[in-house]
């Protein structure tokens, strides 16, 4: 559905995004994560056809991202979306429906349905008088006004309170279940972990890791074993009537069993704990010292 081929963006001699390649399947939720300045927004804007790559190209549904036809199939949510302060949500959405040439009756029904789903109240209030969360919901409704197949969301829950954040993330998840293909960036890795099928991790303009959560965990995470015993063992802590020791290998699990048995006890339970995406991310970030991000500019 989405195919990015070696997309690269330079500003002067500064490389914002090194040649990045990835593809996103239809109906997939694809996350782009990375520290501030990693190149996430630049990548998303190139995918959305809002920024011309210095080299490389991107296609959505076989259409080059710079064509108007492709934009009809796309909903882009920028990290910060300045709305027209004097408009109401309805007049604002109507304005964009016209821009996308959506049939007025269809647009009317669609905007009300979406605002209902988003539980947006005060639809006659001026956008300038709305809270940040309400404005974000209107921006999300705008991204859906043309009923696009592909959604590119830059930090959809940025700056929102936890309740609205959850709401927006669950709404995004619902859109994926309805069959939309979604690419989004986020700082909150818990959200990414909860809804993404696959993830790329960017650092210093470069994709430094990629895969689904299991693959990333296998490569950059650890499995920890919580071994519960009936008697105390070295490094054990008392928990719920037994003793728990956390170890990182099966050999250590076996050693714990032997120690428990030597002390007249036994192992009663073993639970595994996988690294969170946050831990994976920190491990990836620590592993990489990147090369320079500056290139010599071509002499004209
Ligand atoms: N128009 C521009 N001119 C020069 N440099 C730019 C421009 N736009 C972005 N950059 C630089 O490119 C790098 C990548 O920026 P980008 O906004 O893509 O990062 P990001 O990963 O989205 O960061 P954040 O998480 O802070 O939003 C940054 O160093 C940024 O300063």
Asked whether the beta carbons of 140 and 93 are under 8 A apart, the reply is no
> And the tokens for 74?
């796309």
In the prediction, which pLDDT does 274 show? 84
197 and 228 belong to one structural domain = no
Q: Give 83-128 pLDDT, tens digit per residue.
A: 789 999 999 999 999 999 999 999 999 999 999 999 998 988 999 9
- 17 and 111 share a domain? yes
Query: Residue 59 sits in a domain of what CATH number?
Result: 3.40.50.300
Q: How far apart are CA 202 and CA 223, in angstroms?
A: 24
Full-model pTM: 0.85
Give the DSSP per-residue string, 264-290. Answer: T--EEEEEEEEPPHHHHHHHHHHHPPP
Are both 143 and 164 inside the same structural domain?
yes
What pLDDT is attached to residue 291? Answer: 59
Range of the domain at 254: 223-274
Whether 38 lines ligand 1, by a CB cut-off of 6 Å, is: yes
Ligand 1 near 16 CB (within 6 A): yes
CA 30 / ligand 1 centre spacing (Å)? 20
Number of domains within the chain: 2
Domain boundary (191, 217, 243) is at: 217
Contacts (Cβ under 8 Å, ≥6 apart) of 222: 248, 275, 279
Asked if 245 and 266 sit in the same domain, the reply is yes
Q: Which pLDDT value is given to residue 207?
A: 93
In terms of domains, do 140 and 265 share one? no
Check if 78 has its Cβ closer than 6 Å to any atom of ligand 1: no
Which of 217, 240, 263 finishes a domain? Answer: 217
Averaged over successive runs of 10 residues, the pLDDT of the chain (300 residues) comes to 95 93 95 92 95 94 82 89 88 94 94 92 92 92 94 90 87 92 89 90 92 88 91 91 92 95 94 86 74 64
**Residue closest to 242 by CA, chosen among 262, 268, 260, 220:** 268
At residue 297, the pLDDT reads 63
In this prediction the ipTM stands at 0.98
Q: 134 and 45 share a domain?
A: yes
Question: Which of 200, 217, 234 is where one domain is finished?
Answer: 217
pLDDT tens across 280-299, in order?
A: 888 887 776 555 677 776 54
Instruction: Tell which one of 18, 35, 40 to mutate to probe ligand 1, the residue whose CB is within 8 A of the most ligand atoms.
Output: 40
Closest ligand 1 atom to the C-alpha of 35? 25
100 and 203 in one domain?
yes
Return the closest-CA partner of residue 206 out of 17, 54, 21, 14.
17
Half-sphere exposure of 259 (CA within 13 A, CB side): 18
Ligand 1 centroid from CA 285, angstroms: 18
Tokens of 54: 């210095």
Q: What is the pLDDT of residue 300?
A: 46
- Asked if 201 and 250 sit in the same domain, the reply is no
109, 136: one domain: yes
Residue 31: phi and psi, rounded to 5, are: -105, 140
CATH number at residue 256: 3.30.1490
């Amino acid at each position: 559905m989405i195919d990015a081929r070696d997309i690269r963006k330079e500003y002067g001699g500064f490389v914002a995004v090194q040649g990045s390649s990835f593809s996103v399947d239809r109906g997939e939720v694809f996350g782009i994560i990375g520290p501030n300045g990693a190149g996430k927004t630049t990548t998303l804007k190139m995918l959305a056809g809002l920024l011309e790559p210095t080299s490389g190209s991107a296609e959505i549904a076989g259409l080059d991202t710079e064509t108007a036809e492709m934009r009809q199939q796309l909903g882009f949510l920028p990290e910060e979306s300045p709305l027209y302060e004097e408009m109401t949500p309805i007049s604002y959405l109507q304005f964009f429906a016209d821009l996308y040439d959506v049939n007025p009756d269809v647009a009317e029904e669609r905007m009300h349905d979406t605002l209902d789903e988003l539980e947006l109240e005060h639809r006659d209030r001026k956008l300038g008088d709305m809270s940040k969360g309400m404005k974000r919901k209107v921006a999300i409704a705008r991204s859906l006004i043309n009923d696009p197949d592909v959604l590119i969301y830059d930090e959809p829950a940025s700056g929102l309170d936890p309740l609205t954040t959850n709401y927006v993330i669950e709404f995004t998840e619902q859109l994926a279940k309805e069959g939309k293909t979604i690419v989004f960036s986020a700082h909150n890795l818990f959200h990414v972990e909860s809804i993404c099928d696959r993830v790329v991790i960017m650092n210093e303009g470069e994709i430094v890791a990629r895969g689904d959560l299991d693959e990333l965990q296998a490569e950059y995470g650890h499995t920890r074993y919580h071994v519960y015993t009936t008697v105390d063992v070295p490094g054990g802590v008392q928990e719920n009537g037994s003793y728990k020791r956390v170890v990182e290998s099966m050999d250590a699990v076996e050693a714990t069993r032997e120690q428990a048995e030597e002390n007249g006890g036994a192992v009663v339970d073993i639970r595994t704990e996988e690294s969170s995406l946050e831990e994976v991310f920190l491990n990836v970030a620590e592993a990489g010292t990147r090369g320079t991000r500056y290139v010599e500019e071509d002499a004209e």
